[in-house]
Amino acid sequence: MAEAGTGFLEQLKSCIVWSWTYLWTLWFFIMLFLVYILRVPLKINDNLTTVSMFLNTLTPKFYVALTGTSSLISGLILIFEWWYFRKYGTSFIEQVSVSRLRPLLGGVDNSAPSAASAAGGDADSNRQSVSECKVWRNPLNLFRGAEYNRYTWVTGREPLTYYDMNLSAQDHQTFFTCDTDHLRPADAIMQKAWRERNPQARISAAHEALELNECATAYILLAEEEATTIVEAEKLFKQALKAGEGCYRRSQQLQHHGAQYEAQHRRDTNVLVYIKRRLAMCARKLGRTREAVKMMRDLMKEFPLLSMFNIHENLLEALLELQAYADVQAVLAKYDDISLPKSATICYTAALLKARAVSDKFSPEAASRRGLSTAEMNAVEAIHRAVEFNPHVPKYLLEMKSLILPPEHILKRGDSEAIAYAFFHLQHWKRVEGALNLLHCTWEGTFRMIPYPLEKGHLFYPYPICTETADRELLPSFHEVSVYPKKELPFFILFTAGLCSFTAMLALLTHQFPELMGVFAKAFLSTLFAPLNFVMEKVESILPSSLWHQLTRI
């Protein structure tokens, strides 16, 4: 019996929810019609006359007290809402309406639940304090001569900042030079070339080094900065590969003969890995994606310890271009590990694969009626994880904010990383049917659930405070840097602020000009009810006066 009663109540509740969802307009007109029919028994006309007589007898002091009290109440609500938002990062009224009222009306919150419990001990081990912002080399950085310079020729704008190029110069000196370069004339020239600020001086020094010897680093510099097309850059990198392999074999035989030889072998290894990686990127840009994937896989097998180059992110992008989603999942399973540093590429690619399973049939309306399935919940949780790691990405993927050329260095969890990811991966999200729609329906809800203030974190370490400063150094001045966690104020805080200001202004005006504001209030109320009176007159002229008596007889 209890189960039957519970089932009947559930059916009744679902019927009421369905009626309010689709037939609210009909309900509204039915209620208006009933009010009109029952106007005589309910003495509506007499009550309206009494109310109008009461309003006419009110003095200006009443309006002053009324507006002053309303301003005080709305001000207290505003203060409480602002305090609650600063402490918990959400509006109290909005939270109550979503968590209490919406379930009664049959709604389902599309935002992802907190995944802290799902993460378990892994989340605790991953929470580590970050004292300063570490800048990383962009794994998919463009070619200066063939791509960045072309942008400058067309727009007249510099896509790279001095700070970004200075970091690249430091990287080149670290990877492509060693203490024994002064023993070889060509390498000595290139050691000075990497320190040059003037691009033409660097290019001239590279040509000078090639006149003395087949220098791999000289070919690298020319491929990066002098070549105006990817085809030219690829030719120069192939020449660099030939020279670099010879140096690598020679230094490999002598690497255990002393510290100097060990440093030289390390330098030759970095040069060889860099050349092979850039050749794979050239093949990818020229449309030979399968060849690029093979080169990247071979490079990762040959040098498995050089994770600082993040070659797996190049491999993920190329596999997504081939739509080899099973291979993408295999790469993610290897590199999406709690002990490895996360990136937007890892988090958002995992979200894309989860979304791909449900996005083609996902509908917000259907999900609100029946609730989220297990696969949809997994996809939403993956999006929540990605948005918590880098909340700047969705606006670029949804094309709510314009893209620029990515910098040569990125700040993880920053705007620079979001630009670099969206620049190369937007096409992959567009290719998966419904993926952007699912992201659009869920990312704002997950953004509101991101831990606030900064000291908190569900899945990742607290957000670095110096992020905005570092991003402004990495990104050009003409780009508007996205700032986080700069949450938009909830609607109810803005509403209460406007209501408090409006009622305070009315109280002040009523206190200063009581008679004038009384006339204005009466005129406003009469104007407000004029359309209703007009409709009632028309209805009375159309319907017979004895309709109520006929209905009572029936």
Kindly report, residue by residue over 122-150, the tens digit of the pLDDT. 333 333 333 357 888 898 889 998 899 88
**pLDDT recorded at residue 13:** 65
For 269-303, the pLDDT digits (tens) are 888 999 999 999 999 999 999 999 999 999 888 88
- Mean pLDDT for 219-237 is 92
For residue 9, being part of any structural domain is answered with: no
Q: What token pair was written down for 451?
A: 């831990």
DSSP secondary structure of 413-463: TSHHHHHHHHHHHHHHHHHSTTHHHHHHHHHHHHHHTS-SSTT--SSSPPP
**pLDDT recorded at residue 113:** 35
**pLDDT recorded at residue 235:** 93
For residue 172, being part of any structural domain is answered with: yes
Same domain? For 343 and 480 the reply is yes
How far, rounded to the nearest angstrom, does the alpha carbon of residue 366 sit from its chain's CA centroid? 25
d(CA 106, CA 393): 32
For residue 4, being part of any structural domain is answered with: no
Same domain? For 473 and 510 the reply is no
18: closest CA among 370, 361, 377, 442?
370
d(CA 258, CA 178): 14
Same domain? For 298 and 157 the reply is yes
Lowest mean pLDDT among 29-33, 183-187, 448-452: 448-452
Lowest mean pLDDT among 13-22, 305-314, 359-368: 13-22
- Mean pLDDT for 309-328 is 89
Q: Is the pLDDT of residue 420 over 70?
A: yes
Same domain? For 438 and 462 the reply is yes
**pLDDT recorded at residue 59:** 65
- Mean pLDDT for 100-119 is 42
Same domain? For 218 and 296 the reply is yes
d(CA 305, CA 273): 11
For residue 24, being part of any structural domain is answered with: no
**pLDDT recorded at residue 413:** 85
Q: Which of 260, 282, 309 is the last residue of a domain?
A: 309
**pLDDT recorded at residue 22:** 58
**pLDDT recorded at residue 502:** 75
Same domain? For 371 and 291 the reply is no
- Mean pLDDT for 493-504 is 73
Q: Is the pLDDT of residue 462 over 60?
A: yes
For 188-203, the pLDDT digits (tens) are 888 888 888 888 999 9
What is the domain range of residue 467? 323-488
- Mean pLDDT for 337-362 is 81
Same domain? For 304 and 425 the reply is no
- Mean pLDDT for 97-105 is 53
Lowest mean pLDDT among 29-38, 443-452, 466-475: 443-452
pLDDT averaged over every residue in the chain: 77
Beta strand 135-137 with 409-411 is: antiparallel
Domains: count for the chain: 3
Same domain? For 278 and 330 the reply is no
d(CA 205, CA 211): 10
For 365-401, the pLDDT digits (tens) are 776 677 777 888 888 888 888 888 888 899 999 988 8
- Mean pLDDT for 80-107 is 61
For residue 343, being part of any structural domain is answered with: yes
Q: Is the pLDDT of residue 84 over 90?
A: no
Going by the DSSP 8-state scheme, the letter that residue 361 receives in this structure is G
- Could you tell me which residue, 245 or 423, shows the higher pLDDT? 423
Q: Identify the CATH number of the domain in which residue 192 sits.
A: 1.25.40
Q: Is the pLDDT of residue 482 over 60?
A: yes
Could you count the other beta carbons within 10 Å of the beta carbon of residue 82?
A: 15
Could you count the other beta carbons within 10 Å of the beta carbon of residue 198?
A: 9
**pLDDT recorded at residue 319:** 92
- Mean pLDDT for 488-504 is 70
Helices 435-448 & 415-431 angle (0-180, nearest 10): 150
Lowest mean pLDDT among 90-94, 405-409, 534-538: 90-94
Q: Is the pLDDT of residue 460 over 70?
A: no
Lowest mean pLDDT among 8-12, 278-282, 345-349: 8-12
DSSP 3-state of 410: strand
For residue 182, being part of any structural domain is answered with: yes
For residue 92, being part of any structural domain is answered with: no
- CA contacts within 13 A on the Cβ side of 38: 7
For 158-190, the pLDDT digits (tens) are 999 999 999 998 888 888 888 777 778 888 888
Same domain? For 483 and 498 the reply is no
For 40-67, the pLDDT digits (tens) are 666 666 666 776 666 666 666 676 677 7
Separation of first and last alpha carbons in the chain? 39
Same domain? For 257 and 346 the reply is no
Q: Is the pLDDT of residue 447 over 50?
A: yes
Same domain? For 397 and 518 the reply is no
Pick from 84-88, 203-207, 533-537 the range whose average pLDDT is largest: 203-207
Q: What token pair was written down for 31?
A: 């209620």
Q: What token pair was written down for 319?
A: 């596999």
Same domain? For 483 and 339 the reply is yes
For residue 71, being part of any structural domain is answered with: no
